[in-house]
Chains A and B, each alone.
Chain A
Amino acid sequence: MTATLAPSGSSVALDWRRALLWGGICALSLVSVSLIGLPVGMNKRILIEPVLSLGYLCLLWIPLVFGYVATTVVVLEGVEARKSGTADLLAGLTAGLMGGIGLTLLMVGLDTVNIRKPLVNWSPQLFRLLTFERGLEFGIPVWLGICAGLGLVGAVLHQLPAVARRVMSWVLFGVMAIAILEAVIDDLAEGFHLEWLTDAMYYKKGGTEGLTVTSAVVLALVLAALPVVTGGRVKAAVDHYRDAPSEDRRRTSLVLFGAIGVACVGLPMILGGIVNELLANVGLFLLLALGLNIVVGLAGLLDLGYVAFFAVGGYTTSVLTSSNSPFFAPEWHFGIALLFVVVMAATAGLVIGAPVIRMRGDYLAIVTLGFGEIVRLLFLSDWLKPYFGGSQGITKVNPVELGPFKVQGSDPRSVFYLVLVFCALAIYVSWRLQGSRLGRAWMATREDEQVAEAMGINTVNAKLMAFVVGATMAAFSGAVLAAKVGSVFPKSFEILVSIIILVVVIVGGMGNIAGVMVGSLVLIGILGGPRQPGLLQEFQSYKLLIYGALLVFMMLKRPEGLVPSARRSRELHQDEYLQDAWLGDDAESEEDQGAPS
């Protein structure tokens, strides 16, 4: 990035290459977002009646962000930051304008040629949407203007003081989030008896109709006032926590976990059905992710067939508790079935683990990937159809009865509580094992298997135990799934589940329990699981695209995950860590050694 090192003062020197590059990417993003059908598909969903729909929002954020990114100045320590000036505004304008040109070309193309055959979304609807139903001569100048303007705004953001920038993005993000999450907020408001508030806020003419212009403005003002009220106290608290000595931090963490626990027990009472359903799904996947975190995060075994254990848990429960199981239907109680779930999961862990355990890295990943599919195909096969029902699966799984409580899918709150118990158990187990002899053996095996062996660790046993513990957690999740849905089908155990759990673990923060919790809350809660809807129900069909984009973004920008474990962030930022460590060491090492060591 040569631009960042240009001598200060030459404020008109515009780095054309960079501006054009980002402009090009901006144009490509706009065109591809249009062509995958986001704007047309989301146009019905009004965010602010009558000015903004979700479809247009999908386009509008692009030039803004690229205008911002194209003019970002990398500040190097010790080097005077380049003053941003007119050149930056010009760069932002260029990036935005190029986006507009991209859309113009798309509109002209839509008007003149018809290539709807390969590109399904090359449609008249898209043309009408882009031209605001007023033809090319209206659409082209408007989009050029909007894009260039937003690019310019993006660039101007750099000129503003940091506080203003933060407040603006907070307000923008907040208003949009409130608009998009209308259904959920409605649901929440019911629980808290705040219907009058949502009635005032939203336009509401049957269904989700978005905010009114007035309420959007009022909301923006309220949100802008919030930071003034809190006065940076939130940030101060976070900083305080981060800088606290490890002993204090441990205590704070415990308090935090306790608070989360209390919230988990209390909140579902007042939350509505939608949110409880979401939380139950988050819990199901958290349970899976915690197990995978032990296998991948601690023991370093990249298991891509993790869904197999999920399936084993689901089918074991179904066979033992369903009245409709084709071969053997003892209709036991869920609690008794659980014992067998543990046994079956451990057996499956050993059976799948034993042959693959000597493999390393990529080979292990490929072989486990195969095993994951094999298990699903076995359940699907005609050969085992008499036992597991083939593609029809097993239905009529009895609801879990615990005294007066009955856990079944139609009551998401009860499912949530059931899953909460398992999650709490899994979190406790992960936490305790991490700091135990076994946890250290797993870490050593991950670091250097050969050396671990030479240091007296039976790595085969250690790895098998990781497999078994991970398998058991996944199987519990499968058991709850069976009870929740009331049936199991091979279709619920596709390879995609394995991959999404892995993404949850990676994005959340590998090797860190809190990270995995945040990961499943963010990904499963907001985007949704492989077959479960999340908060953003509108984006259901684009979920995998977003997952992929998010994974790429995280790998580039924050490979250690949202809430990284200290160990892993050190590992990925070794250089910086070493600098700090050695700077701190210098003075002391000279006096105690007399020579550099």
Chain B
Amino acid sequence: MSLLEIRGLQVTFGGLDALSSLDFHVNEGEIVSVIGPNGAGKTTFFNAISGMVPPTEGEILFDGESVLGLDPNQITEMGIARTFQNVRLFPNMTVVENLMVSQHCRTSQLFVGALFQTKAFKKEEREIRERAEEILAFFGTRLTGYRLDQPAFALSYANRRRLEIARAMATQPRLLLLDEPVAGMNPMETAELTGLIGRLRDEWGFTIVFIEHDMKVVRDVSDRVVVLDHGVPIAEGSYESVSTDPDVIEAYLGRPLESRKDRR
């Protein structure tokens, strides 16, 4: 059974169909990339899965259970975590706090523990801090050491992107939705992050769906590519098959001149 199963998904904004009759599935342990020209509905697709935009129609099943009508935090608790296209950290919280707060739904201490500093409270605090540091160590030395206690806004752009992925990892998800993880990065950083995406599956066991414009990244890590255009999936398959698909080429580059004349 697939981890995520989507049937006939439709999202309408006013009269505009941002997504229509979208079928999609991801198997456990797969890395699927979603590509498409600007305005194709990729981010809306993520928003619908993570509960930030209510679908007009259709079904979204995660591990066999419907997530429709659930709040974003409930969906996160079920095991879907996401990053954002335009990095959205908690800028005035420190690096480690960003990761500690993301473990909110995996922890349970409330007033009593905090006020009386119970053993359980201290243990939990220690555990989430350790987990945070463990996750940050995955990104090399860039987010560790003195940076742990720096506010997130003080990080460089690439580090903010890394921290966003780390923060999604901290929610202990099964499915990671990465929205353009390498956007705005230089070639070296891109190459490094491409490797990281593969390791995220191999070492941490996450299933990954990511939106990307950088075709090299898409080619290097995805098991499967889904192409969206105007809210409709137009192709699906391996990178090789998709990249030579005439519909995809048309969506990205437009129709050749002769065929346009034909149409007239």
Q: Given the known inter-chain contacts A451-B88, A455-B101, please indicate yes or no for A437 contacting B109, CB distance below 8 A.
A: yes
A428 CA / B114 CA spacing, docked (Å): 10
A578 CA / B104 CA spacing, docked (Å): 29
For the residues of A in contact with B, the DSSP-based class is helix
- Is the beta-carbon distance between A436 and B188 smaller than 8 angstroms? no
- Is the beta-carbon distance between A456 and B102 smaller than 8 angstroms? yes
> A-B pairs with the 7 shortest C-beta distances?
A456-B105, A436-B114, A456-B76, A447-B90, A597-B158, A440-B101, A581-B154
- Is the beta-carbon distance between B92 and A447 smaller than 8 angstroms? yes
- Is the beta-carbon distance between A458 and B142 smaller than 8 angstroms? no
- Asked whether B23 is an interface residue with its Cβ less than 8 Å from the other chain, the reply is no
A-B contact pairs, 11 of them (CB 8 A): A433-B111, A435-B114, A436-B114, A437-B110, A440-B100, A450-B52, A455-B101, A455-B104, A456-B105, A581-B154, A595-B189
- Asked whether A239 is an interface residue with its Cβ less than 8 Å from the other chain, the reply is no
Identity of the chain A residue whose Cβ is nearest the Cβ of B93 in the assembled complex: A443
- Asked whether B115 is an interface residue with its Cβ less than 8 Å from the other chain, the reply is yes
- Asked whether A574 is an interface residue with its Cβ less than 8 Å from the other chain, the reply is yes
Contact count A vs B, C-beta below 8 Å: 125
- Is the beta-carbon distance between A444 and B50 smaller than 8 angstroms? no
- Asked whether B71 is an interface residue with its Cβ less than 8 Å from the other chain, the reply is yes
A441 CA / B114 CA spacing, docked (Å): 13
A581 CA / B102 CA spacing, docked (Å): 25
Interface residues on chain A, size class: 35 or more
Q: How distant is B178 from chain A, measured CB to nearest CB, in Å?
A: 13
Q: CB-CB < 8 A to A439: which residues of B?
A: 114
A436 CA / B124 CA spacing, docked (Å): 10
Q: How distant is B219 from chain A, measured CB to nearest CB, in Å?
A: 23
Given contacts A438-B111, A457-B104, 15 further A-B contacts (CB under 8 A): A436-B109, A436-B121, A437-B107, A437-B109, A438-B114, A450-B88, A451-B90, A454-B52, A456-B106, A456-B171, A577-B154, A578-B153, A581-B150, A595-B186, A597-B157
A578 CA / B153 CA spacing, docked (Å): 8
Q: How distant is B199 from chain A, measured CB to nearest CB, in Å?
A: 18
Neighbour of B114 across the interface among A437, A594, A596, CB < 8 A:
A437
- Is the beta-carbon distance between B156 and A597 smaller than 8 angstroms? yes
Q: CB-CB < 8 A to B107: which residues of A?
A: 437
Which A residues from 549 to 582 make CB contacts under 8 A with B? 567-568, 570-571, 574, 577-578, 581-582
- Asked whether A448 is an interface residue with its Cβ less than 8 Å from the other chain, the reply is yes
Q: How distant is B118 from chain A, measured CB to nearest CB, in Å?
A: 11
Identity of the chain A residue whose Cβ is nearest the Cβ of B159 in the assembled complex: A597
- Asked whether A459 is an interface residue with its Cβ less than 8 Å from the other chain, the reply is yes
A438 CA / B102 CA spacing, docked (Å): 12
Q: How distant is A523 from chain B, measured CB to nearest CB, in Å?
A: 26
Number of interface residues of B (CB under 8 A): 51
- Is the beta-carbon distance between A432 and B73 smaller than 8 angstroms? no
Which B residues from 187 to 204 make CB contacts under 8 A with A? 188-189
Q: CB-CB < 8 A to B58: which residues of A?
A: none
A594 CA / B77 CA spacing, docked (Å): 39
Q: Given the known inter-chain contacts A447-B90, A595-B186, please indicate yes or no for A574 contacting B153, CB distance below 8 A.
A: yes
Q: How distant is A268 from chain B, measured CB to nearest CB, in Å?
A: 27
A296 CA / B154 CA spacing, docked (Å): 24
Q: CB-CB < 8 A to B88: which residues of A?
A: 448, 450-451
A574 CA / B91 CA spacing, docked (Å): 10
Identity of the chain A residue whose Cβ is nearest the Cβ of B115 in the assembled complex: A432
Q: CB-CB < 8 A to B133: which residues of A?
A: none
Identity of the chain A residue whose Cβ is nearest the Cβ of B185 in the assembled complex: A597
A570 CA / B154 CA spacing, docked (Å): 10
- Asked whether A592 is an interface residue with its Cβ less than 8 Å from the other chain, the reply is yes
- Is the beta-carbon distance between A578 and B154 smaller than 8 angstroms? yes
A456 CA / B110 CA spacing, docked (Å): 16
- Is the beta-carbon distance between A458 and B73 smaller than 8 angstroms? yes
A593 CA / B142 CA spacing, docked (Å): 9
Which B residues from 65 to 121 make CB contacts under 8 A with A? 71-73, 76-77, 81-82, 84, 88-93, 97, 100-102, 104-107, 109-111, 113-115, 117, 121
Interface residues of A (CB under 8 A from B): 428-429, 432-433, 435-441, 443-444, 447-448, 450-459, 567-568, 570-571, 574, 577-578, 581-582, 589, 592-597
- Is the beta-carbon distance between B50 and A454 smaller than 8 angstroms? yes
Neighbour of A454 across the interface among B72, B100, B142, B150, CB < 8 A:
B72
- Is the beta-carbon distance between A440 and B104 smaller than 8 angstroms? yes
- Asked whether B167 is an interface residue with its Cβ less than 8 Å from the other chain, the reply is yes
Identity of the chain A residue whose Cβ is nearest the Cβ of B177 in the assembled complex: A454
Neighbour of A595 across the interface among B76, B113, B171, B188, CB < 8 A:
B188
A567 CA / B97 CA spacing, docked (Å): 12
Identity of the chain A residue whose Cβ is nearest the Cβ of B152 in the assembled complex: A447
Identity of the chain B residue whose Cβ is nearest the Cβ of A435 in the assembled complex: B114
- Asked whether B259 is an interface residue with its Cβ less than 8 Å from the other chain, the reply is no
Q: How distant is B60 from chain A, measured CB to nearest CB, in Å?
A: 15
- Asked whether B141 is an interface residue with its Cβ less than 8 Å from the other chain, the reply is yes
A453 CA / B81 CA spacing, docked (Å): 11
Q: How distant is A423 from chain B, measured CB to nearest CB, in Å?
A: 16
Neighbour of B77 across the interface among A437, A443, A456, A570, CB < 8 A:
A456
A455 CA / B97 CA spacing, docked (Å): 13
Neighbour of A453 across the interface among B72, B125, B142, B154, CB < 8 A:
B72
- Is the beta-carbon distance between B73 and A453 smaller than 8 angstroms? yes
Q: CB-CB < 8 A to B125: which residues of A?
A: 436-437
A329 CA / B232 CA spacing, docked (Å): 70
Identity of the chain B residue whose Cβ is nearest the Cβ of A441 in the assembled complex: B104
Q: CB-CB < 8 A to A451: which residues of B?
A: 84, 88-90
- Is the beta-carbon distance between B76 and A455 smaller than 8 angstroms? yes
A595 CA / B190 CA spacing, docked (Å): 12
Q: How distant is A343 from chain B, measured CB to nearest CB, in Å?
A: 15
A435 CA / B121 CA spacing, docked (Å): 11
Q: How distant is B176 from chain A, measured CB to nearest CB, in Å?
A: 13
- Asked whether B151 is an interface residue with its Cβ less than 8 Å from the other chain, the reply is yes
Q: CB-CB < 8 A to A582: which residues of B?
A: 154
Q: How distant is A402 from chain B, measured CB to nearest CB, in Å?
A: 23
Q: CB-CB < 8 A to A450: which residues of B?
A: 52, 72, 88
Q: How distant is A204 from chain B, measured CB to nearest CB, in Å?
A: 51
- Is the beta-carbon distance between B151 and A567 smaller than 8 angstroms? yes
Identity of the chain B residue whose Cβ is nearest the Cβ of A439 in the assembled complex: B114
- Is the beta-carbon distance between B71 and A453 smaller than 8 angstroms? yes
- Is the beta-carbon distance between B142 and A456 smaller than 8 angstroms? no
Q: CB-CB < 8 A to B117: which residues of A?
A: 432
Q: CB-CB < 8 A to A429: which residues of B?
A: 115
Identity of the chain B residue whose Cβ is nearest the Cβ of A440 in the assembled complex: B101
Q: CB-CB < 8 A to B91: which residues of A?
A: 447, 571
Q: Considering residues B76, B93, B104, B156, which has the most beta carbons from chain A within 10 angstroms of its beta carbon?
A: B104
